[in-house]
Amino acid sequence: MRCRIRGRGAGENPPNRFEALAREPFDDGFGTLDVVAAESVPPATEVLLDRSRTVLARNESPDIPFDRSVNPYRGCEHGCIYCYARPTHNWLGFSSGLDFETKILVKPEAAELLRHELARPGYRCAPIALGTNTDPYQPLERRLRVTRSILELLAACRHPVGIVTKSAGVLRDLDLLVPMARDGLASVFLSITTLDAALARRLEPRAAAPHRRLEAIRALASAGVPTGVMVAPVIPALTDHELERILEAAAEAGAERAGWILLRLPHDVKDLFDAWLLRHVPARRERVLARIRECRAGRLNDPAFGSRLRGTGVWAQLLDQRFAKACARLGLNRRTFPARTDLFRPPSESRQLDLFG
């Protein structure tokens, strides 16, 4: 059953790809499905505890600029229909659809678990990416403050961190980010998909409005925090025409760096996105999907390193050229953001005496 649910990106819960059995609604001809859809109550957010024993995830991906990350939450209330992380909910026994944005697993002990990781004798400091899978400043963070506790730890240990978010909620932590940035320990990227507020409400229903993200860039930059913009994802034939305008608006607000990522549709995200197109922009559906295939060698997703983030073919190359020319014109990416590792001090209660001290 595919329907529009106010405040949610997905309108359905596709079967978990690891389950042997699946259920599919069937119209018996008596309008039953319409009645159920009309009477159904929009799903509320359910908070579940995540009892992971570690929180520092490591990767060896050659096409991303960090080798470790922390995600305080699994699942994301923002409900971005295009989110490549949706299928990770399958590993937890949930659906990539509504489950991903309504069943949020929280790591309340994330800061303490990270403290143990940083205190290990063999730990070697390198920037930690915060918000690589799900948003660290999704609505629940206002109440639960898990991201805040992690930043407090990193600030105390003088550990470098890079944040990516779609939320203006990051401004709450300026008191931590400003002194960290002063020492070359913090930077923030705001992710902007479109400047069209109406389209943003449908694509990413519980994320901050585009103008609020630009305001966050301005506030961060004015406070001295190295700030950038991620034009992500670029959706061919739907948002790609906004590439230059987003970069211009972000640069005017104070962004110094920029990046872009082509839409990725792994596993059943492609079906969720297709259903979204049918609900919201049916006249553009065929063109959008055709253009994605042109950028993905005939498919809707390409998981290969090197091409998964930018695509291949003429249209992908054109996007890359447009991005590079706009950045050069706007003065973006002229400097790299500092991420000092020489200031790191392990958590004091776990620091061992020097054998030769």
Q: How many residues can be counted in the chain? A: 357
Give the span between the Cα atoms of 346 and 123, in whole angstroms.
Answer: 9
Q: Is the pLDDT of residue 269 over 90?
A: yes
Give me the mean pLDDT over the 110-123 stretch: 96
pLDDT score at 6: 80
User: Taken in order 252, 207, 84, 233, is the CA torsion positive or negative?
Assistant: negative
pLDDT in tens, 319-346: 999 999 999 999 999 999 999 999 999 9
To the nearest whole number, what is the mean pLDDT of the chain?
A: 92
- Percent above pLDDT 90 for the chain: 83
- pLDDT band with cut points at 50, 70 and 90 for residue 1: very low
Contacts of 248 (CB under 8 A, 6+ apart): 326, 330
Q: What is the distance of C-alpha 299 from the center of its chain? A: 23
CA–CA separation, 283 and 291 (whole Å): 14
Write out pLDDT tens, residues 293-305. Answer: 999 999 999 999 9
- Across-strand partners of 46? 103
Task: Output the CA torsion 170→172→176→181 (10° steps).
Answer: 40
- For residue 108, the model assigns a pLDDT of 95
Contacts 24+ apart (CB under 8 A), 270-277: 270/300, 270/301, 271/14, 272/10, 272/12, 272/14, 272/81, 272/86, 272/96, 272/97, 273/81, 273/82, 275/2, 275/10, 275/11, 275/12, 276/9, 276/10, 276/11, 276/81, 276/202, 276/203
Confidence of residue 354 (pLDDT cuts 50, 70, 90): very low
pLDDT category at 228 given cuts 50, 70, 90 is very high
Tell me the two tokens of residue 252.
């005017």
Distance of alpha carbon 85 from the chain centroid: 8
351: pLDDT strictly greater than 80: no
Q: How confident is the model at residue 259 (pLDDT cuts 50, 70, 90)?
A: very high
pLDDT confidence of 131, banded at 50, 70, 90?
confident
Q: What is the pLDDT of residue 21?
A: 65
What's the whole-number mean pLDDT along residues 93-100? Answer: 96
pLDDT band at 5 (very low <50, low <70, confident <90, very high): confident
Each residue of 48-70: pLDDT tens digit? 999 899 999 999 899 898 999 99
Q: Which two tokens stand for residue 111?
A: 């800061």
Kindly state the average pLDDT of the residues 120-126.
96
Q: Is the pLDDT of residue 178 over 60?
A: yes
CATH code for the part of the protein at 44-333: 3.20.20.70
Instruction: Compute the average pLDDT of residues 16-26.
Output: 71
Burial track 2-25 (b if 16+ CB lie within 10 A, e otherwise): beebeebbbbbbbbbeeeeeeeee
Mean pLDDT of 216-233: 98
CA distance 312 to 318: 10
- Rounded Cα distance, 215 and 254, in Å: 10
Mean pLDDT to the nearest integer, 306-326: 96
Instruction: Write down the pLDDT at residue 18.
Output: 82
Residue 353 has pLDDT above 50, yes or no: no
